Amino acid sequence: MVNMIPNPNAPDEYKYETDYRKIPRKYLNPKIPQGRGKIKWQAFATLPQQFEILEQIIKDQNKIEKPLLTHDSLDNLDQIYQIKIQN
């Protein structure tokens, strides 16, 4: 049985991660080709409505979730903001 690790050279937290968007760029293989990008979708974009929908799908694929801030982090940011306003 062969043990397949998707990212053998990455730190432990990223070794078994399959979503490349969650892995920092420095741990990704730079020799992997970019791919066809938008070209693969062009055959489906024959109607204007389809084109708009496909453009939105492509944009949605590249979105990254905003990080959640803890209550302490929000308080810290608020204090910094208040200090900057006063000065």
pLDDT in tens, 62-76: 888 887 888 999 999
Q: What percent of the chain has pLDDT over 70?
A: 82
pLDDT of residue 45: 59
| Longest CA span, the chain | 65
Cβ contacts of 14 within 8 Å, gap of 6 or more: 7, 22, 23, 24, 27
Q: Evaluate if residue 1 carries a pLDDT over 60.
A: no
Element (H, E) at 63: none
Mean pLDDT of 6-23: 84
Distance in angstroms (rounded) separating the CA atoms of residues 80 and 63: 29
Domain boundaries, the chain: 1-32, 36-86
The reported pTM is 0.34
